[in-house]
Amino acid sequence: MFPRTHPRRSLKWRLTLCLALCLALGGGLSLSAGAAQSGLAYLGEELKALQADPFANPGLLWVDRGTALWQADPAPGVPACASCHGAPESLRALIPTLPRWNPATQRLENLEGLIRQCQSERQHQPPAPYESEALLALTTRLAQGARGLPLSDAIAPEAAPALARGEAFFRERRGQLGLSCADCHERYAGARLRGDRVSEGMINGFPIYRLTWQTLGSRHRMFRWCNEAVRAEPYPFGAEPYLELELFLRHRGAGLPLETPAVRR
Amino acid sequence: MGTLSLPVRLALPEEAQAGRVVSLRLLLQHPMETGYRIGEDGARIPRHLLTALRVSYGDRVIADLTLRPAIAANPYFALSFIADQTGPITLEVEDDRGRKLTETRMLTVVP
């Protein structure tokens, strides 16, 4: 029996990562071109196999938990998600279209936001906090039900300004290191970083099980991590700029199949 | 010993032919905190580790492991053994807080 071992996340590790990456960038490494590729394409064989393993993919622990939460009454007399929605797969078609524009509120809403809204408005419960195990589990279960569906490029005309702001955020240099998302995930996608490769920064695998985190995390956790990697102040979970970024990344990765729960380095 | 409750994925056939190799796969959801890591709030995350894993087949212990802090979070284990008699497969996992998880599955062996 050989349990896997790997390095733990620490601030030191993160800074070393930045340094190593900057060196790699300085060296002017490979550039990517052509159609969008999932982060899966940038993984080594071992992690590809782990993601594909229908038993050992660690993200499935959250899928199991999500199934249980979906079916359970949150409190006596309060209906379960399943009692109104049926199977989680009934929301399959919705997942690739998120985040989406809500004309009533004039705001973007993502999957976490919709789940929390149902918890508070239809179950009259306190919504699960962002990045809590319960919210991650439900999000993962719903997204897993849509595996294989391509990320949609359908964007309401009213959301055009939000999409443009998302793209601007993606291309803006930020942090003490003055790097934009595009610097790392477009210009230097494919650059080697201690045997690993920087991917195109796609969102089709989320929530992802990330070895660096030793746990599962949401899209917004990833954005926070990437902001911190260049020593920029991260935004709170669910913040408007992150919803706009999510919208832009859905557009940018349109057509990529959903692969939740993805496994990443 | 207190009860340890954690999400477990366990894969084991219910039935096997005598003399055949059976594989058991196990995935445990656990942070395996070493006590050296600093959390988002700047405070040290308290040590919390799984310490032992034992698998028995009938009254024989077929695996007895001491788990070390270097093991990653959410550990995965795989183990093979030969099916020779119908009997319970019992899994015991212990943590450093003196708690224990026990799971039992029946393995039916057919000729």
Q: Which residue has the higher pLDDT, B36 or A64?
A: A64
Q: Do domains A10-54+152-264 and A60-145 have the same CATH topology?
A: yes
Share of chain A above pLDDT 70, in %: 86
For residue A208, the cross-strand partners are A217, A262
∠ CA A198-A201-A205, nearest 5°, is 110
Range of lowest pLDDT (A136-140, B1-5, B51-55, B77-81): B1-5
CATH class of this structure's domain B8-110 = mainly beta
Nearest to B61 by CA among B52, B50, B70, B51: B52
Chain B residues with CB under 8 Å of A129 CB are none
Task: Using CA coordinates, name the residue in chain A closest to B23.
Answer: A1
Res. A195 pLDDT band, cuts 50 70 90: low
For residue A216, the cross-strand partners are A209
Tell me whether residues A3 and B76 touch, CB distance under 8 A: yes
pLDDT number for residue A167: 98
pLDDT number for residue B40: 75
CATH class of this structure's domain A60-145 = mainly alpha
**How far is the C-alpha of A253 from the C-alpha of A251, rounded, in Å?**
5
Against a cut of 0.80, is the pTM above it?
Answer: yes
**How far is the C-alpha of B106 from the C-alpha of B86, rounded, in Å?**
8
∠ CA A3-A8-A9, nearest 5°, is 145
Tell me whether residues B76 and A58 touch, CB distance under 8 A: yes
Tell me the shortest Cα–Cα distance from A1 to chain B, in angstroms: 6
Task: Using CA coordinates, name the residue in chain A closest to B80.
Answer: A1
pLDDT number for residue B36: 87
Nearest to A249 by CA among A148, A155, A137, A131: A155
Whole-number mean pLDDT of chain B?
93
Whole-number mean pLDDT of chain A?
89
Res. A62 pLDDT band, cuts 50 70 90: very high
ipTM for the predicted complex: 0.82
Report the residue from A3, A11, A211 with minimal CB separation from B77: A3
The per-residue DSSP string of B36-99 comes to --B-TTSSBPPPB-EEEEEEEETTEEEEEEEPPTTSPSS-EEEEEEE--S-EEEEEEEEETTSE
pLDDT in tens, A119-158: 999 999 999 999 999 999 999 999 999 999 999 999 999 9
Tell me whether residues B65 and A65 touch, CB distance under 8 A: no
Domain ranges of chain B: 8-110
Chain B residues with CB under 8 Å of A51 CB are none
Tell me whether residues A4 and B70 touch, CB distance under 8 A: no
CATH fold of A10-54+152-264 reads Cytochrome Bc1 Complex; Chain D, domain 2 (1.10.760)
Tell me whether residues B63 and A6 touch, CB distance under 8 A: no
